[in-house]
Structure formats: C-alpha cells, structure tokens
Amino acid sequence: MRIAIDGPAGAGKSTVAKALAKRIGFIYVDTGAMYRAIGLYLMEKKLNLHDEAPLRKALDEVELDIGYEDGIQQVYLNGTNVTSKIRTEAAGSMASQVSALLPVREKLVEIQQELGRRADVVMDGRDIGTVVLPDAELKVYFTASSKVRAERRYRELVEKGIISTIEEVEADILARDYRDMHRKHSPLKQADDAILVDSSDMTISEVLQVMIKLVAERNPEVAKLL
Ligand code: DC
C-alpha cells in the first residue's frame, strides 16, 4: 500500500507521516530530505544552476542513498550521513530553489518511485500524489494557516537552539510556499483525488487518528492490527 502526503512547509506532514508509518509498520520516505541533500551538494559545488549540461553532469556524479537506523530515515550524500546537516532553514530554502529544476526532479522522482515499488510506504513531499505515486491507494493533502505553520516551525527551531523570530519564520514559509506552488515543473497542488486535512485547529495526535482511520478503511490487514 502506498500513502501519499503532500502539503506546504510546516503543515505537520513529516511528524504525522513518521508516527503513522511506525504505527502501521510501513516505511516512511521523507522526499524533502532528498531535495535538501541535493540542494546542499549543488550549492557546495557553486554551479550555475541554469546551465543544464554541468548540472546534469553533477547530478550523474552524485551518489544519494537512503537508509534506516531504528526506523528513522538517514540520507547519505556521497557516502556521508547528512541527515542533521540538512535540517536548517537555509538548507530548506536551498532545497526549494533546486527543486524547481527539471533534471533534479527527474533524478529524485525515479529514486522515490523505486522505493514505492519495493515496500509499503508513507511518503511525504510536494508532488507525491500528483507525480511520484499517482496511483497511491490513499492521498492526503495537509494544510494549515501560515500563522500556525510559522508557530510550529518557530517552536522546533527554538528547541534546536536556533535563534529566529516568528515573523522571520512566517516570511520564509510564505516565500517557500510561493516558489513551491508557482514553479513550472510539478508545482505543489492538491491532487484531484486527495483528501484535504486542515490541521490549523488540530493537534498532531488528532491528525494521526484521522490518518489511521483513513488507512484502516482502505486496508483490512492494517485494520486488523489496530
Ligand atoms: O519538506 P521540506 O521542507 O523538507 O522540503 C524542502 C523543499 O524541497 C521544499 O520547499 C520543496 C522541495 N520539495 C519538492 O519540491 N518536492 C518534494 N516531493 C519534496 C520537497
């Protein structure tokens, strides 16, 4: 079974997807982490991102691997574990920029589709229900107001000791939403057959309950486990 979760930054996708995957014994695939890793790689190479030939060459040369430690996704860039390095706001912003490039999307979509063929997955991102897994058995589009999303991100950053203001975080989220929704290739949008979940006034555990119910309705094997 493939579960596709899309939505803007800070809508609670990864927290819910991770908890859901653990609960139902599926593999969680965080596709944003892949764009973040490629963003880091391309920025460190200091390439002109709009020069297609060197970009394709750099993408051919990079080795991007996904692994799991205690069920938690790890991302390896040319053999180095970059899982914590890619969690900064700067890496998120780099990811948003490189994710607009077609060669980058082609490479990552292929890896993601292969993961979806190999296992039962909960996959989150921006184009999972529309492009990566258009035949997913369950598609959900998460959203929340930009204010609520900024507050959530701000709290996460404070916990990590990163200094910022709510206003800065909200401005960054709005800029990222705009870029992700207006790019030419695979813009963020709700798939026609995706279920909309607005979590502005919901707790994470309430959203998780909604997801478990949706999965159980579609998968009797999972329903038996719950
Ligand atoms: O979910 P995230 O914040 O880790 O994602 C970082 C950026 O990567 C996001 O701004 C857009 C891009 N992205 C994408 O274009 N397609 C995906 N499937 C996942 C992420």
Per-residue pLDDT at 38 exceeds 90: yes
Distance 92 CA to ligand 1 centre (A): 7
Per-residue pLDDT at 40 exceeds 90: yes
Q: Is 141 helix (H, G, I), strand (E, B) or coil?
A: strand
Domain assignments of the chain as residue spans, ordered by start: 2-213
- Look at residue 224 in the predicted model and tell me its pLDDT: 86
Four-residue CA torsion sign, 163, 6, 33, 56: negative
The fraction of the chain above a pLDDT of 70, given in percent, is 100
Give the Å distances, CA to CA, from 92 to 32, 39, 96, 153.
8, 8, 6, 12
CATH 3.60.15.10 fits 2-213, yes or no: no
What residue owns the CA closest to ligand 1's atom 14?
126
Put the strands of the sheet holding 2-6 in their side by side order: 27-30, 121-125, 2-6, 138-143, 195-198
Per-residue pLDDT at 226 exceeds 80: no
Kindly compute the dihedral angle of the four CA atoms of residues 127, 11, 75, 160, in this order, to the nearest 10 degrees: 160
What residue owns the CA closest to ligand 1's atom 5?
32
- Look at residue 89 in the predicted model and tell me its pLDDT: 80
- Look at residue 225 in the predicted model and tell me its pLDDT: 79
Pocket test for ligand 1, best of 35, 121, 184, 189 (most atoms within 8 A of CB): 35
Per-residue pLDDT at 42 exceeds 90: yes
Q: 218 pLDDT band (50/70/90 cuts)? A: very high
- Look at residue 110 in the predicted model and tell me its pLDDT: 97
Pocket test for ligand 1, best of 66, 96, 152 (most atoms within 8 A of CB): 96
- Look at residue 208 in the predicted model and tell me its pLDDT: 96
Distance 212 CA to ligand 1 centre (A): 24
Q: 92 pLDDT band (50/70/90 cuts)? A: confident
Distance 204 CA to ligand 1 centre (A): 20
The set of residues, in sequence order, having a beta carbon less than 8 Å from that of 2 and lying 6+ positions away, is: 116, 120, 121, 123, 133, 135, 136, 137, 138
pTM of the model: 0.94
Helix (H), strand (E) at residue 198? strand 195-198
The model's pLDDT over 101-160, given as tens digits with 9 standing for 90+, comes to 999 999 999 999 999 999 999 999 999 999 999 999 999 999 999 999 999 989 988 998
The model's pLDDT over 4-35, given as tens digits with 9 standing for 90+, comes to 999 998 899 999 999 999 999 999 999 999 99
The fraction of the chain above a pLDDT of 90, given in percent, is 86
- Look at residue 67 in the predicted model and tell me its pLDDT: 94
What residue owns the CA closest to ligand 1's atom 10?
96
Residues 106-142 as b or e (16 or more Cβ within 10 Å = b): ebbbebbeebbeeebbbbbbbbbbbbbbeebebbbbb
